[in-house]
Structure 1
Amino acid sequence: NCPGIEATTAQVLGDAQEAWLLTNLDRSKARWKALAQQVMMMDLNRNTSGGQGVNTDSWAGYRVPRNRLLSHIRDRRIDNVVVLTGDEHQNYAGGLWLDGSQPEGAPIAVEFVGTSISSRGDGSDRGADYDRFMAVNPQLKFRNSQRGYVVCEATPTVWTTQFKVLDKVSDRSGVLTTRQTFAIEAGSNTLTPA
């Protein structure tokens, strides 16, 4: 943690881009609002040995603009917002709250983070810190570091995301499987294993 995380002048998008996003979220008549972007929005605690530590190279490192976006979605009652993210080299699925360490009520939105296709080698299903990491991050419903991709399907009533993973990418004999599937019913913002 550092004082810059709370800086009121910090920006992720820039003024014009943020205004564009908020305006178009307000105007959207789409059932599902997919925000495809590069850095994780969940404010995960990366310190599993006590204390608090966030990835400052993510929305968690910019608390004011992050909370401004999430508050806008919450206060305007913009339903069915799904954030799709890459650039973490791991799979994650979880809910978005202003403070993920104290998730109260329904999530404001949900986020799916897709792993890399081959970077960092084969990966593993659950790392040594899996249980500690999940325990300090109640907003998180899934974490996996195998290589692969996500497949999303949106219908008028449900959004489904499948996490496709390979047991190994180090040679051509790797086997592709569906590691986890989540569904979100329209209007609920709640992840349900499917």
Structure 2
Amino acid sequence: MSITVGTNDHTLSDHLKAFIQTPDALVVGIIGEGSSRELTALWESPFENDTPGSMFSKQGGLIQAGALEGIGIEGGRTSKSTLNTTQVWSGTTPHNFNLVLEFYAISDAYNQVQAALIELEKVIAPEMNELTPGGRIPPQVTLNAGRQIIYPECVITNVSRQLDGPIGRDGYPLRGSVTIQLQTLTTVNQSDIPATFG
């Protein structure tokens, strides 16, 4: 059974907290200002350069510029049509989360701040063998943000933390802020999105 680390302040609503389940611990942090959720659809116009004039680009350019008006060809015309600008879906990225998590010590600076920061850095690092292949890649985590955004399979792609801040007598930080970037393991289907909202 995993331990709980981080700031699980019972005076605050769970809707203000993020719960990140790693293989070794449940990390609880307060969701900070600037946290976001992003989904990007990739659209492109593959026909943009496929025009009758593309085979004769110089002649097409001369027509558009009006240089051939003297031989009865009117300028200011284009060989492109609206078909050339049609956007075609080429994929959707996995959901991206940029979470700012705040940790602070209520009674135990190590477990409520330091251990949470350690655990988040652990899950972005691999465990490689010294000489032979076969080590382990960074593990997946489960994200539960505010008890309303739930994803069972995520990977952490970036962890950034501040090094300044108050330090207790035992040498552990009394407060810490960390920015983590997570992605769902795969692109999420349209039909699955409502279930991610708690």
Fold match by TM threshold 0.5: no
Larger % of strand: which?
Answer: 2
Question: What TM-score, normalized by structure 2, do the two folds share?
Answer: 0.25
Q: Which has the higher contact order (CA 8 A, sep 6+)?
A: 2
